[in-house]
């Protein structure tokens, strides 16, 4: 499970064999947030898919912020891992 970004206690992970839609797993402590990557060409921002485990609402919001802040890099990595152009 490649960690793409580590920041402020969060790990943003992309699994190479994961399913569509393009998404990331943001892990902090015993909690995990799955966030769908938006489509830049349609100006669609990332959006929350699921929240699992023990993670505060504040950390869920921070996870979404981190993914939004790093969206281009994460979408590029997703495409590399899944052979998308």
Q: What pLDDT score was predicted for residue 1?
A: 62
Which residue positions in the chain have pLDDT lower than 70? 1, 40-42, 85
Is 84 contained in some domain? Answer: no
Residue 85 included in any domain:
no
pLDDT at residue 39 in the model: 78
Q: What is the pTM of this model?
A: 0.91
What are the φ/ψ torsions at residue 79 (nearest 5 degrees)? -65, -40
DSSP H stretches of helix in 5-70: 57-69
User: Would you state the pLDDT for residue 61?
Assistant: 98
Q: How many structural domains are present in the chain?
A: 1
Q: Please check whether residue 68 lies inside any domain of the structure.
A: yes
Look at residue 40 in the predicted model and tell me its pLDDT.
67
Q: Which domain holds residue 65?
A: 3-78
Q: Does 20 map to a domain?
A: yes
Q: Which of 5, 74, 8 is nearest to 35 (CA)?
A: 74
Task: Please return the burial class of 76, using the count of CB atoms within 10 Å of its CB with bins 0-12, 13-18 and 19+.
Answer: exposed
Q: Indicate whether 19 belongs to any domain.
A: yes
């Amino acid at each position: 499970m490649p960690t793409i970004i580590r920041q402020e206690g969060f790990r943003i992970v992309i699994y190479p064999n994961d399913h569509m839609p393009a998404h990331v797993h943001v892990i902090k402590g015993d909690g995990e947030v799955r966030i769908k990557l938006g489509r830049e060409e349609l100006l669609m921002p990332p959006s929350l898919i699921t929240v699992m485990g023990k993670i505060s609402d504040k950390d869920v919001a921070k996870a979404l912020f981190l993914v939004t802040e790093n969206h281009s890099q994460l979408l590029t990595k997703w495409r590399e891992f899944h052979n998308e152009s």
